[in-house]
Amino acid sequence: MDPTKTARTVPEMLADADPARPALAGESGPTMTYGELLQLAERTRASLRRAGIGRGEPVAMVLRNGPHMAAAFVAVSTAAAAAPLHPGLRKRELLDALRSLGARALVVGEGCGSDPEAAAQALGIQVLRLLETDPCGGFLLDGNGSVPIPPAGQPRPTDAALLLHTSGTTSRPKLVPLSHDNLTASAASVAKTLRLDPSDRCLNIMPLFHIHGLVGVLLASLRAGACVLATTGFAPMRFFRWLEQLRPTWYSAVPTMHQTVVQRAERNPTELASSRLRLVRSSSAALAPSVLDALEDRFGCPVVESYGMTEASHQMASNPLPPKLRKPGTVGPQAGPEMAVMGDSGELLADGAIGEIVIRGANVMAGYVDNPQANAEAFRKGWFRTGDQGYRDTDGYYTITGRLKELINRGGEKISPREIDETLLEHPDVAQVVAFAAPHAKLGEEVAAAIVPKAGRTLTALMLRQFASRRLANYKVPRIFVFVDAIPKGPTGKLKRIGLASDLGLC
Ligand code: AMP
C-alpha cells in the first residue's frame, strides 16, 4: 500500500492498484485482475442505472459466499449502497430486512432458494439475477428493469456504499450506513496494521454479509493491491488443502474457526508444513490466549487479535505485528479510530479504570438510518458508545471485560435476544420468555431461552426449537431451553438478562 495515496471511494481504491495484478480468485485457480474488476464495476453501474438505481440507493443482495459475492459487493457498492443479507434468513426475516432497507432492487445469485425472490416480489421490489460468467467472480445482472436513469459520475466519498443491520437492544435490528469514506479509512487501517502489500494472498473463509469479511479481509486486501482467495466459506475438511493449493499468506477468522483449525492441525502435517502463512488474524469475539498460543505453535507465525464492530466499519483496535508487542488476552492498542474509556457521567477515565469503550474518527458511521432514539443513545459528547466494557493499560492496550449491551455473541454471529423473545412469544403455549447468552466452550456464547409455559400447558425444547426454526435463521434458534415458573428478576425487580445464565445455574 502506498500511504501517500488517499483513496476515499471504493473505485478510487481499485484504481490505485496495478491493473494487471490479481485481485480475486475462487477455489479453482483463475484470477480476476484489478483492471477487470474495475471494468466489471463500470458495467454493473451501467446495469443498475438501466434498472433505475442511482448513487447511494439501497440494493439488497443474497448470494452464496465466493468470488461472485466478493465481486458483486465491490461492483454494486461503487454504484449504489450494497446491502448483503445472510442467505440463511427465513422469508419473514427477508421481508423485514427488505422493508427496513427500503431496497430498490434485490440482486440474487444461483443456489439461494426461492425465498429471496418471493420476498422481493411480495414487496414489489425488482429482482436482478446474477448470472456467473466465469469461476473467478465475473457476472452479468439480468432483470426486467424499471425506468432507466441517465448515467452518473463516480460516487462521492460521503455516499453510502454499504448498509448492514446490526443486532441491538431492540427487537428490530438497527440499520448502519457506511460511506465510502468510512470503508476506505477502515480498510486502510487493517492494511496498515497487517502491513499488507500486493504480494499478499488472503484466504477468505469469512461470510461476505458481515463486516469482518467485507472490510477485514476483502477491502483491506484491495486497499493494499493484494489478492483475495474467495472460498465458499469455512470448511474444516478443506481448510488445510486450501493452505497447500491456494498458497495464502494470511487468513482472518473468528475464534471458533481458529479452535477447529487447531484441533485438526495434527491430522494435516503435510499441508501444515507447506503453509506460507506470515500471519493469522482473529476478530469479532474474544480469542482465548491458549488458542492463540496453539495457533502460533502450529503455523510458526504471529497471531494478532483485533477488535471490530459494524458501526466502526470493522477495526477499532488490534495487536500489532512483531517486533511490536502482542499481548494475548488484550485486543491491542487503537488501530483506526480514536478510542477511550468513558465513565457513567460521560467523563473519560484514566488508564486502568473500567468503563465503556468509546470511539470517534473517520471509520465511524454518522448515525443509524431513521432512528433518532438509537442515535441519541449511541453518541455521547461526540463519541460513539460501543456497549463494550473494558480498560486501557499504561501501554495503551485495551482489554474487554464485559458487555453493557444486550447481545448474544454466538461465535462471532450477533443475535438480538429481543427478537428471540418476540418470536417465541408467538407460540400459543408460551406465557413468558427471556432469551439470554449461555456460556459455551467452543462458541463462547450460545442462544438460550428461559420459558414460562401457560398454566396447564406442556412444552418441550424440541417443540420450541421446531417452532423457532420455521421463523428464524438457523444461527438464531435457541439450543438451550430452561423451563421455569417465573423469570428471575434483578434486585430492583427489573428483568435482568445479563447474568441470567448464572441465576439459572448454567454457569
Ligand atoms: P459486529 O458488529 O458483529 O462486528 O460485533 C461487534 C461486537 O463484537 C463488539 O462490540 C464486541 O462486543 C464483539 N467483539 C469484536 N471483536 C472482539 C474481540 N476481539 N474480543 C471480544 N469481543 C469482540
Query: In this predicted structure, what is the pLDDT of residue 328?
Result: 96
Query: In this predicted structure, what is the pLDDT of residue 129?
Result: 95
Residue nearest to atom 8 of ligand 1 (CA): 284
Runs of H (alpha helix) within 30-176: 34-50, 67-77, 91-101, 115-122
Ligand 1: residues with CB < 6 A are 166, 211, 283-286, 305, 307-310, 331, 386, 388, 400, 403, 409, 414
Position 500 confidence tier, pLDDT thresholds 50, 70, 90: confident
Query: In this predicted structure, what is the pLDDT of residue 172?
Result: 74
Domains by residue range for the chain, with CATH: 33-179 (3.40.50.980), 408-503 (3.30.300.30)
Give the residue-averaged pLDDT of 68-79: 97
Distance 261 CA to ligand 1 centre (A): 21
Q: 48 pLDDT exceeds 70?
A: yes
Give the distance, in angstroms, between the CA of residue 82 and the centroid of all CA atoms in the same chain: 14
Query: In this predicted structure, what is the pLDDT of residue 231?
Result: 97
Query: In this predicted structure, what is the pLDDT of residue 240?
Result: 96
Give the residue-averaged pLDDT of 433-450: 94
Distance, in Å, from the CA atom of 40 to the CA atom of 158, rounded to the nearest integer, reads: 22
Position 171 confidence tier, pLDDT thresholds 50, 70, 90: low
pLDDT digits (tens, 9 = 90+) for 395-422: 999 999 998 888 899 999 999 999 999 9
Q: For a pocket test of ligand 1, which of 212, 291, 307, 398 has the largest count of ligand atoms closer than 8 A to its C-beta?
A: 307
Lowest mean pLDDT among 194-198, 384-388, 489-493: 489-493
Distance 353 CA to ligand 1 centre (A): 20
Residue nearest to atom 6 of ligand 1 (CA): 309
Give the residue-averaged pLDDT of 40-68: 94
Q: 456 pLDDT exceeds 90?
A: yes
Distance 167 CA to ligand 1 centre (A): 12
Position 335 confidence tier, pLDDT thresholds 50, 70, 90: very high
Mean pLDDT rounded to a whole number for the chain:
94
Give the residue-averaged pLDDT of 49-78: 95
Q: 101 pLDDT exceeds 50?
A: yes
Residue nearest to atom 5 of ligand 1 (CA): 309
Q: For a pocket test of ligand 1, which of 174, 186, 409, 413 has the largest count of ligand atoms closer than 8 A to its C-beta?
A: 409
Position 507 confidence tier, pLDDT thresholds 50, 70, 90: confident
Distance, in Å, from the CA atom of 505 to the CA atom of 503, rounded to the nearest integer, reads: 6
Residue 139 host element (H or E):
strand 139-143
Query: In this predicted structure, what is the pLDDT of residue 3?
Result: 47
pLDDT digits (tens, 9 = 90+) for 211-264: 999 999 999 999 999 999 999 999 999 999 999 999 999 999 999 999 999 999
Query: In this predicted structure, what is the pLDDT of residue 152?
Result: 73
Q: 453 pLDDT exceeds 90?
A: yes
- What are the grid coordinates assigned to 483, written together? 423451563
pLDDT, greater one: 183 or 489: 183
Distance 315 CA to ligand 1 centre (A): 10
Smallest Cα–Cα separation from 85: which of 119, 55, 61, 107? 61
Q: 10 pLDDT exceeds 50?
A: yes
Distance 316 CA to ligand 1 centre (A): 10
Is residue 372 reached through a cis peptide bond, with omega within 30 degrees of 0 on the bond before it?
no
Distance 10 CA to ligand 1 centre (A): 24
Distance 351 CA to ligand 1 centre (A): 21
CB 176 within 8 A of CB 166: yes
What b-and-e string marks burial along 455-490, b requiring 16 or more CB atoms within 10 Å of the CB? eeeebeeeebeebbeebbbeebbbebbbeeeebeee
Let me know how long the chain is. 507
Distance, in Å, from the CA atom of 259 to the CA atom of 414, rounded to the nearest integer, reads: 19
Surface-to-core class of residue 3, CB atoms within 10 Å of its CB (0-12 exposed, 13-18 middle, 19+ buried): exposed
Residue nearest to atom 4 of ligand 1 (CA): 309
pTM: 0.95
Q: 100 pLDDT exceeds 50?
A: yes
CB 203 within 8 A of CB 249: no
Nearest atom, ligand 1, residue 403 CA: 12
Distance 413 CA to ligand 1 centre (A): 9
Give the residue-averaged pLDDT of 486-503: 79
Give the residue-averaged pLDDT of 133-153: 82
Q: 5 pLDDT exceeds 60?
A: no
pLDDT digits (tens, 9 = 90+) for 254-290: 999 999 999 999 999 999 999 999 999 999 999 999 9
